[in-house]
Structure 1
Amino acid sequence: MESLQTPDRLVRLAVDLVNTKTLEPEQLVTPDDVRRFLLDHGEPEPIAIDEAELDEIREVRERLRPVFHEEPAVAAKALNDLLTEYAVRPYLSDHEGSPWHLHVARPEAGWPEWLAAQTALGLAGFAAGHGFAALAGCAAPDCERVFANQAERRPRRYCGPTCASRTRVASYRARQAGAEKS
């Protein structure tokens, strides 16, 4: 909750949070799952999450999801709503010997509030710099993962090479099967 937050890290945090619930099994089942998620994203101990916070974090995740799927005005409203509800006037902090960094959540905020404020800020900054088209859901019909495409000159439709390949192979096989029937 108190670590240095760079814009790229906040975007990755938001993308990874949304991707904890896709067609794959739910990844945030217990408070300890959230703890591991936060540790994996560079947050320092102590991290204590209770069942109520687990539910709130999953709610934040679902409020972020439309940002990757909706029209820009709807996505912007979702981010603005999160910022209005959870963010405070930005302030600099160097607590506990850490380098100076920016906070946008209340000093006493819990993990759900912190995640909402930080990820909304990261996605808002990313969308302002790259456009909402750079925040998208995978085009593979059997995937619900989302991604942030920083390569402005290379449009992206898939969350990664695996989905792109799988979709191309399926399309090729479908064309081949259609050609054989003709």
Structure 2
Amino acid sequence: MLVNSNRVDGEQLGDTAALDAYLDGFGWTGRRDRDGAELDSVHRLRERIGRIWTVADDEERVVGQVNALLADTEASPWLTRHEEMPEWHLHLASIHDPLWQRMGAEMAMALADLIRGGELRRLKICAAPDCEAVLFDVSRNRSRMFCDTGNCGNRQHVAAYRSRERNKDG
């Protein structure tokens, strides 16, 4: 997830090669400038998307931020298919648009769908005290508390177990 690419284990998108690897790993297609300006624009987008998680409990603020992102990216939906993805699917920007614009439009639309579905409460920040990662809770009862980027759930459960064991012996 782009938002977490600097929240756990330091900066994961520190140069254009790392950005390329990230884009390849997630199947991003279209224009790539492979320069510092493109990397900076993706970093700015990452921070902008991350701010949405910080206000996820305020639907009106999230809607305002998502609408602003849709406008700034000049999202313009169109149907397409590719050899590697033959099913019809939606693109929200031209393959010739700057990378941040294409990424931002896709992310804004995903967030818009989440809002329309009444599922904004699925946007969470990891509950581990030493973690700032964000998560999208896909559990049936929306009870997920920890991210899966830093093994936080495991660490918190082990710490709770050890605390209970110490208290039993004490």
Q: Give the structure-1-normalised TM-score.
A: 0.77
1:80 aligns with 2:89: no
Change (3 A) 1:28 1:177: same
Q: Using the alignment, how far apart are the partners of 1:177 and 1:94 within structure 2?
A: 59
AA at the equivalent of 1:73: E
Q: What does residue 119 of structure 1 align with?
A: 107
Q: Using the alignment, how far apart are the partners of 1:97 and 1:172 within structure 2?
A: 47
Q: Using the alignment, how far apart are the partners of 1:46 and 1:165 within structure 2?
A: 40
2:39 to 46, 51, 54: 54
Change (3 A) 1:114 1:46: closer
Instruction: Kindly tell me the number of residue pairs found equivalent between the two proteins.
Output: 166
- Segments of structure 1 that go 5 or more residues without pairing to the other structure are 1-15
Aligned residues of 1:92 and 1:102 also touching (Cα < 8 A) = yes
Shift of 1:68: 2.0
Q: Secondary structure at the match of 2:27?
A: coil
Aligned residues of 2:128 and 2:146 also touching (Cα < 8 A) = yes
1:90 aligns with 2:69: no
Q: Using the alignment, how far apart are the partners of 1:95 and 1:155 within structure 2?
A: 37
Structure 1, residues 30-73: CA drift from partner, whole Å, max 9, x if none? 11111110100013487442100100000000000022221222
Aligned residues of 1:105 and 1:117 also touching (Cα < 8 A) = yes
Shift of 1:81: 1.2
Q: Using the alignment, how far apart are the partners of 1:157 and 1:147 within structure 2?
A: 9
Shift of 1:128: 2.6
User: More relative contact order in 1 or in 2 (CA 8 Å, sep 6+)?
Assistant: 1
1:166 aligns with 2:155: yes
Q: Using the alignment, how far apart are the partners of 1:22 and 1:179 within structure 2?
A: 36
AA at the equivalent of 1:166: R
Change (3 A) 1:179 1:78: farther
AA at the equivalent of 2:129: P
Which shifted more, 111-120 or 51-60?
Answer: 111-120
CA RMSD of aligned residues (A): 2.7
Q: Using the alignment, how far apart are the partners of 1:23 and 1:82 within structure 2?
A: 25
Q: Give the structure-2-normalised TM-score.
A: 0.82
- Segments of structure 2 that go 5 or more residues without pairing to the other structure are none
Aligned residues of 1:87 and 1:105 also touching (Cα < 8 A) = yes
